[in-house]
Structures are given as structure tokens and as C-alpha cells.
Amino acid sequence: MAPSEALTLVVLGPDDAPDGLALSDAAGWNQTAEDWRFFVRQGRVFGLRAADNGRLVATAAALPYDSGVGQVVGNGVGGGIGWISMVLVAAEWRHQGLASSLMGHCIAHLRALGATPVLDATPAGQPAYAKLGFQAGFALSRWEGTLAHGPSMPTAGAVNAQAIARLDAQANGFDRRTLLTDFLQRPGTRARVAADGNGFVLARQGRRATQLGPLVAGDEASALSLLQAAFAELSGPVFLDVPERWTVLTAWLAQHGFARQRSFARMALGPAPIASVHDRLFVVAGPEFG
């Protein structure tokens, strides 16, 4: 039977988060049910369900972001951007064009909203995305390590979400206020604001490890101070996604027992602020969120 007959295209709703989580867990990814709920609520998650038993066998998510907090920030891109992620296909359904088909739905959806599609691609995914017309911007790597027990990093309670969102938008060139507010409201999220008020770092619970990021700072020395402060207060496995440009940070990570797990290229299908890393963005929120 052709895949088109055996599968039904669906848009995931809030009750579908556990099915999405089953797919990301099977791939060994770090996203939680809260992440899936965020994608479903704020973006559009396309899925394919087996017609016979209803099993979710493939997903792809499109998440639009505005151009800036209350204004277009820096990059001059008008219509905003949209993140594409959570491209997952169950092992027995691969190599039949399902991921490409769902990517097509994500691209069409974002373009209808006037948003430029952006994603963080693994080396294996890059040729597939290049074929669709995506162009590569800056490179980043996921670093992975385990921290010894330290005192707990402060919870996010007292943090000013608006101030953080403004710093994040200045660093990124797009508005992620809703995402950052969601992170801050999660019970496991930790936050630290730089003493000079020019930066911050968040750490949230992932399925396999604490995900550290975003980290925004005025310069790389301040970024390293924030990272060191966060590391002193976290424990257990930690993932963080760092643009290659920040060689002081990556050298410090390597010296402290962290290893590169995989690399990514930020890619865009149209005008987007990805050509070079912005001067104030030191750790991204994750390849699924940018």
C-alpha cells in the first residue's frame, strides 16, 4: 500500500503531546511533554497517523516568531521568521518521503504567514534542506557533560520575563517572549540575570539532560562568567548549543570535561538574521527553538 493510502495527515492538538513525546523519545531526543504542548499551542505541528491503528508515525512543527519586541529589531527583516523542527519519522516508515512531505506543509504554512522558514540542521539533514533551497548560516555545536552536585541555581520566580525577552530579542533579532515566559513558568526552570543587567541564562529540564540556554551577554567574558555561575549551581547531565564562533566558551567547556555531541548549521529559506552569529547570543535555546 502506498504511504498516502496508509496514512492520514493531521494537525496535532493538545491531547497529542504524549504521542509526539513517544516519537522524540524513540529518537533519543531531549524534548519534554511541555515542549510538545508549546509547539501545539503556539505553532502548528503536522503529523501522519497510520490509518489502521491511529499510531502517530511522523511529525514536523512550524513555530512562527515575531520580528522583535514591539518593533523590528536590528536585522530589518519585516515578516518575522518561523522555526521548523521536530522532524521525526518512526524507523519503519523512513525513506518514503514522509519527512519531506511534512516539511513541505511547514514551509507552506510559514510562507502563508509571511514568515521566513529557519531551522538548525544536522550534517545529515543539510543536503536535504539545501535541495529545498535552504541556505546555511552560522555553525553551532551541541556540548554535553555531567556536573557534580553544587548548590541549586535560583528558580525562575523573581525574574522579570519582559526584561529577559527584550535582551533575547536584541540578541536574536526575533521575539520569543511567549517561549521564554513558558520556560520561566515551568517548575524545573532555573534563571540567573547578569549583575550588569545586560544578560541572562536559563536552564530548563529536558527528558535526558538539563538544557542550558538561551544565554545572552554583553561580551564573551561576561558570557563565560554567567556560564560558570550556572555550572556551579547545576548538577547532573547538561546539554548546551553553542555557536562555533565563541572559542573562549568552547575551549572552557572542553577543559571542563564537556564534549561535542553533534554539530548543526542554522539554515534559512529566504531573508533571516542567520548569516553570522549575533554579538550577544552565546548559547541558543536549542535546535528546536533557535
Ligand X SMILES: CC(C)(COP(=O)(O)OP(=O)(O)OC[C@H]1O[C@@H](n2cnc3c(N)ncnc32)[C@H](O)[C@@H]1OP(=O)(O)O)[C@@H](O)C(=O)NCCC(=O)NCCS
**For ligand X, which is the closer residue by CB, 99 or 191?**
99
Binding part of the chain for ligand X, among 91-99, 105-113, 132-140, 222-230 by CB under 6 A, reads 91-99
Please say whether the beta carbons of 256 and 278 come within 8 A.
no
Q: Is residue 88 part of the contact set for ligand X (CB under 6 A)?
A: yes
Please say whether the beta carbons of 160 and 197 come within 8 A.
no
Q: Is residue 99 part of the contact set for ligand X (CB under 6 A)?
A: yes
Neighbour-count burial for 186-207, b at 16+ CB within 10 Å, e otherwise: eeebbbbbbeeeebbbbbbebe
**For ligand X, which is the closer residue by CB, 87 or 156?**
87
Closest residue to ligand X: CB criterion: 125
**For ligand X, which is the closer residue by CB, 73 or 98?**
98
Cell numbers 564562533: residue: 245
Q: Is residue 89 part of the contact set for ligand X (CB under 6 A)?
A: yes
Distance of closest approach, residue 269 Cβ to ligand X, in angstroms: 14
Q: Which of 42, 69, 74, 100 binds ligand X (CB under 6 A)?
A: 100
The secondary structure of residue 76, as a DSSP letter, is: -
**For ligand X, which is the closer residue by CB, 87 or 184?**
87
Q: Which of 20, 125, 213, 273 binds ligand X (CB under 6 A)?
A: 125
Q: Is residue 128 part of the contact set for ligand X (CB under 6 A)?
A: yes
Distance of closest approach, residue 184 Cβ to ligand X, in angstroms: 27
Distance of closest approach, residue 189 Cβ to ligand X, in angstroms: 24
- Separation CA 262–CA 141 (nearest Å): 6
E strands, the chain, where?
7-11, 44-50, 56-65, 81-89, 116-121, 135-147, 190-193, 200-205, 210-216, 236-243, 259-268, 281-283
Q: Is residue 94 part of the contact set for ligand X (CB under 6 A)?
A: yes
Report the candidate in 47, 51, 48, 50 with the shortest Cα–Cα distance to residue 39.
47
Report the candidate in 285, 272, 215, 218 with the shortest Cα–Cα distance to residue 75.
272
**Interface positions with ligand X (CB under 6 A):** 27, 87-89, 94-100, 121-122, 124-125, 128
